[in-house]
Amino acid sequence: MDITVQELKEKMDKGEKFILIDVREPHEHEEFNIGGSLYPLGNIINAIVELEDHKDEEIVVYCRSGRRSDTAKQFMQQAGYQNVRNLLGGMLDWQEAFGRW
């Protein structure tokens, strides 16, 4: 099940435990990010390998608009990750709702 920017912000504000992954390119991440670990979509295999011990934990993936992160979610699910959620609307919706922190 995917997640909206409002739901994600609420989880962050409550301090809930989950893994946050940014699948954008490094220059996009440097320009603005919400604290996710950077694993560009082209290198998503690195995240799949490095996070092997966290397959059952909640993972939220995000990008600029939600398209690349949806692809990353599918790759991760195919690799056996059970609880991957795509941030709907990505950073575009985040900035529209909350601005740049």
Look at residue 100 in the predicted model and tell me its pLDDT: 74
For the cut 70, the answer to whether the pLDDT of residue 25 exceeds it is yes
Condensed to tens digits (0 to 9), the pLDDT of residues 26-66 reads 999 999 999 999 999 999 999 999 999 999 999 999 999 99
Look at residue 10 in the predicted model and tell me its pLDDT: 98
For the cut 70, the answer to whether the pLDDT of residue 18 exceeds it is yes
Going along the chain from its start, the domains and CATH numbers come out as: 5-51+58-98 (3.40.250.10)
Eight-state DSSP code of residue 82: S
Instruction: Provide the H-helix boundaries in the chain.
Output: 5-14, 26-31, 44-50, 67-78, 90-98
Q: How far apart are CA 83 and CA 1, in angstroms?
A: 8
The mean pLDDT value of the chain amounts to 97
Look at residue 63 in the predicted model and tell me its pLDDT: 98
Supply the residues annotated as catalytic.
63
Indicate the pairing of strand 59-62 with strand 37-38: unpaired
Residue 19: which H helix or E strand, with range? strand 19-22
